[in-house]
Amino acid sequence: MRDMKEAWTSLASLLGTLAFCQTLLQTVLPPELRFATLRFLKRALGFSSSYCYFEITEADGVNTNELYYAVRLYLSSFLSASCSRLSLSRAPNCSSTTFALSNNDCITDVFDGISVQWVHAVTQSQSQPSSRGEKRFFTLRFRKCDRDHILDSYLDYIMDKANDIRRKNRVRLLYTNSHGGWKPVPFKHPSTFDTLAMDPERKRDIMDDLRDFVAGKAFYQRTGRAWKRGYLLYGPPGTGKSSMIAAMANFLIYDIYDLELTKVCSNSELRELLMKTSSKSIIVIEDIDCSADLPNRSKAPPHPARRSCSNPGAPDAPSGGKDRNNNTITLSGLLNFTDGLWSCSGSERIFVFTTNHIDKLDPALLRSGRMDMHIYLSYCSYPALKILLQNYLGSEAEDLGQAAASELREVVKKAKMTPADISEVLIKNRRNKEKAVSELLEALKARAERNEKCGGLRDEREMNGEEEMGKRSKRRGLWRAPKMGETVTPFLARKWRMLKRSRQNERENLNLKGSERS
């Protein structure tokens, strides 16, 4: 207690002495001499100090200082854990709150073993009335011997980190093409690699591949390759191709450009669309086998239904991929889109094509180097089923009882049901685990039995990705209607209803246009 008292007394006398010296300086010395003396004292103290100081102000003249905002964001990433007094803010189009240092608070950071100190200050500014009369700045303090390393690497590191944080915080977008441009909507698909039902080993391979891609800037530069990667996802409907694209985007924190080829009129429009995409994005073409009739590079005249967008009466583009009038899309145009010189106009981009029928794709699309990874998404296996049980019932397969678990393991192999179909059964009964498992077993057994009866024929059809009802016609989105009395899986039935509705809408639109014209 007495020590405390003494400390306070010493502090009070020190402050008193300082105040006396300041008054003396102000009264004895004329203003010019006073400033010169202060400058001299500051410099003398600076020379004797082993530290150097850098000020990073909010505005650099009339321009805002990017480094100031980068530092603020960077510090906010670890501030919340170490400070008790912080200022909070949330920018427009931002999905999270940003912490910032309060006035005159300081924080220590360590970079490559070097300790640096940051202080944030807000002072009244006479010279900059435009910035609300305040001058905000960070002061960075570190040892003079570390000057080169900090100025060369630390500040670049902060800029990179801040960009990453900005990307993570902002609302991501899903773009679709319309009228030659991209229209964005917020992308909020909840699918992740955790929720994706597939073999864990293959899942790990894909995640590793994506990680390598993101970290591969130097590799792609060194080997002279464009920094992009292509994935071809194929397999029957309802096996998780679209879900995997969403999981990839969520994993990498990328935007998605969902390219609807049927809305693109020409190769040049395709190229323009590509140039309008940003880096760190996934460009998706779903159902590549049926999203457009692409004239083959070597032969195959284009489909008669596919005419020029700009001139519906014009003849089709000549075969051989030579798009003389440049008013249709050809396979060459698509290949240039993914592989040509234009495809490198941005960097860090992923192309994903999906198909139900890999056998219908032109070999040019499949050749090695074009699509770097071919990923087959198949019917639900036991490891995949375990993930679905965890997703929908919140329990491990083993928790459902040894008998049920081993029965599920046996029957799921023979049933060849898609994750989409299994999900439907589980969602329906998610409040009652026992019922969910017994219904699932029933459905799997019924399917396995039917498969056995159908034998080889069904196997063959399934290899081509054909389901009872879901046999697609050549054009995207056209499904064969179920025959009377035909069993239809809930997933396919829903898809059929959706397509029927969209076709009806299309017909109504056409009728409307026709009546307007007449």
Ligand X SMILES: Nc1ncnc2c1ncn2[C@@H]1O[C@H](COP(=O)(O)OP(=O)(O)OP(=O)(O)O)[C@@H](O)[C@H]1O
Q: Which residues bind ligand X (CB under 6 A)?
A: 195-198, 237-243, 356, 419-420, 423
Decide whether 233 or 335 has the Cβ nearer to ligand X: 233
Alpha-carbon gap, residue 306 to 224, rounded angstroms? 38
Decide whether 205 or 449 has the Cβ nearer to ligand X: 205
Kindly state the tokens that stand for 485.
Answer: 């009395």
Quick one: what does residue 420 bind among ligand X, Mg ion, none, with the CB cut-off 5 to 8 Å set by partner type?
ligand X
Quick one: what does residue 243 bind among ligand X, Mg ion, none, with the CB cut-off 5 to 8 Å set by partner type?
ligand X
* Residue burial 18-48, b: 16+ Cβ < 10 Å; e: rest: eeeeeeeeeeeeeeeeeeeeeeeeeeeeeee
Quick one: what does residue 419 bind among Mg ion, ligand X, none, with the CB cut-off 5 to 8 Å set by partner type?
ligand X
Among all residues, whose Cβ is closest to Mg ion? 242
Alpha helices for 351-489 (secondary structure H): 363-366, 382-393, 402-415, 419-428, 433-454, 456-463
With CB under 5 A as the rule, give the number of residues binding Mg ion.
Answer: 2
Given a contact cutoff of 8 angstroms between Cβ atoms, the answer to whether 376 and 235 are in contact is: yes
User: What's the closest the beta carbon of residue 372 comes to ligand X, in angstroms?
Assistant: 20
Site string for Mg ion, 215-254 (x = CB under 5 A): --------------------------xx------------
Decide whether 191 or 336 has the Cβ nearer to ligand X: 191
Kindly state the tokens that stand for 367.
Answer: 């050749």
Alpha-carbon gap, residue 64 to 68, rounded angstroms? 8
Decide whether 57 or 378 has the Cβ nearer to ligand X: 378
Quick one: what does residue 238 bind among ligand X, Mg ion, none, with the CB cut-off 5 to 8 Å set by partner type?
ligand X
Kindly state the tokens that stand for 149.
Answer: 């390393």
Quick one: what does residue 197 bind among ligand X, Mg ion, none, with the CB cut-off 5 to 8 Å set by partner type?
ligand X
* Residue burial 468-501, b: 16+ Cβ < 10 Å; e: rest: bbbebeeebeebeeeeeeeebbebbeebbeeeee
Decide whether 18 or 478 has the Cβ nearer to ligand X: 478
Q: What residue ranges in 11-57 does DSSP mark as E strands?
A: 51-57
Decide whether 230 or 235 has the Cβ nearer to Mg ion: 235
Decide whether 34 or 202 has the Cβ nearer to ligand X: 202
Decide whether 314 or 481 has the Cβ nearer to ligand X: 481
Element holding 173 (H helix, E strand) = strand 173-178
User: What's the closest the beta carbon of residue 443 comes to ligand X, in angstroms?
Assistant: 15
Kindly state the tokens that stand for 279.
Answer: 């880096």
User: What's the closest the beta carbon of residue 406 comes to ligand X, in angstroms?
Assistant: 23
Decide whether 149 or 471 has the Cβ nearer to Mg ion: 471
Given a contact cutoff of 8 angstroms between Cβ atoms, the answer to whether 118 and 71 are in contact is: yes
Query: Which residues are 111's β-sheet partners?
Result: 114
Query: Which residues are 178's β-sheet partners?
Result: 181
Quick one: what does residue 349 bind among Mg ion, ligand X, none, with the CB cut-off 5 to 8 Å set by partner type?
none
Q: What is the DSSP string of 307-342?
A: --SS-TTSPPPPSTT--TT--S--HHHHHHHHHSGG
User: What's the closest the beta carbon of residue 249 comes to ligand X, in angstroms?
Assistant: 13
According to DSSP, residue 58 is labeled: S
Given a contact cutoff of 8 angstroms between Cβ atoms, the answer to whether 98 and 120 are in contact is: no
Q: Is 463 left (phi over 0), alpha (psi -120 to 50) or beta?
A: alpha
User: What's the closest the beta carbon of residue 105 comes to ligand X, in angstroms?
Assistant: 46
* Beta strands at 114-124 and 134-143: parallel, antiparallel or unpaired: antiparallel
Among all residues, whose Cβ is closest to ligand X? 240
User: What's the closest the beta carbon of residue 391 comes to Mg ion, in angstroms?
Assistant: 18
Quick one: what does residue 330 bind among ligand X, Mg ion, none, with the CB cut-off 5 to 8 Å set by partner type?
none
Quick one: what does residue 297 bind among ligand X, Mg ion, none, with the CB cut-off 5 to 8 Å set by partner type?
none
Alpha-carbon gap, residue 156 to 151, rounded angstroms? 8
User: What's the closest the beta carbon of residue 240 comes to ligand X, in angstroms?
Assistant: 3
325 lines the binding site for Mg ion (CB under 5 A): no
Alpha-carbon gap, residue 201 to 209, rounded angstroms? 12
Quick one: what does residue 239 bind among Mg ion, ligand X, none, with the CB cut-off 5 to 8 Å set by partner type?
ligand X
Of 239, 268, 276, 438, the residue nearest 356 (C-alpha): 239
User: What's the closest the beta carbon of residue 243 comes to Mg ion, in angstroms?
Assistant: 8
User: What's the closest the beta carbon of residue 68 comes to ligand X, in angstroms?
Assistant: 44
| 317 residue type, one letter | A
Decide whether 125 or 191 has the Cβ nearer to Mg ion: 191
User: What's the closest the beta carbon of residue 195 comes to ligand X, in angstroms?
Assistant: 6
Decide whether 290 or 408 has the Cβ nearer to Mg ion: 290
Element holding 114 (H helix, E strand) = strand 114-124
User: What's the closest the beta carbon of residue 197 comes to ligand X, in angstroms?
Assistant: 3
Alpha-carbon gap, residue 134 to 128, rounded angstroms? 8
Kindly list the residues in this chain that would bind Mg ion in the complex (CB under 5 A): 241-242
